[in-house]
């Protein structure tokens, strides 16, 4: 798994599955998406890419509002490492 923070560092690959979300806490619905991506990767050999955000978009859109996150970006990456992703792209 490669963690990338600059989109220019990601090689173009048309045979990719991409999911986009914060993935804060990696709850059951997240786990199902990741399980299906892994299943498709095994079946077809496609590259799996997860796009996430740091900081959380709520912190950027509503900076004056109190907002709580469940996991830091490092904790999130650690949780996501169990799902055999090829790339985690962190949008800053």
Q: What is the pLDDT of residue 60?
A: 85
**CA 7/CA 10 separation, integer angstroms:** 6
Q: Is residue 73 over pLDDT 90?
A: yes
What the block records as the tokens of 58 is 């709520």
Domain ranges of the chain: 2-91
* Closest CA relative to residue 40, chosen from 89, 85, 81: 85
Per-residue pLDDT tens over the stretch 12-54: 999 999 999 999 989 999 999 999 999 999 999 999 999 999 9
Contact assessment for residue 15 and residue 46, using Cβ atoms and an 8 Å cutoff: yes
Q: Which fold has domain 2-91?
A: Rossmann fold (3.40.50)
Q: Average pLDDT of the chain?
A: 94
């Amino acid at each position: 798994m490669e963690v990338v923070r600059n989109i220019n560092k990601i090689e173009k690959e048309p045979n990719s599955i991409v999911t986009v979300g914060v993935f804060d806490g990696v709850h059951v619905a997240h786990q199902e998406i990741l399980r299906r991506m892994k299943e498709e990767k095994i079946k077809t050999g496609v590259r799996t890419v997860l796009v996430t955000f740091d900081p959380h978009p709520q912190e950027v859109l509503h900076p004056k509002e109190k907002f709580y996150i469940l996991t830091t970006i490092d904790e999130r990456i650690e949780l996501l490492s169990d799902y055999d992703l090829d790339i985690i792209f962190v949008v800053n």
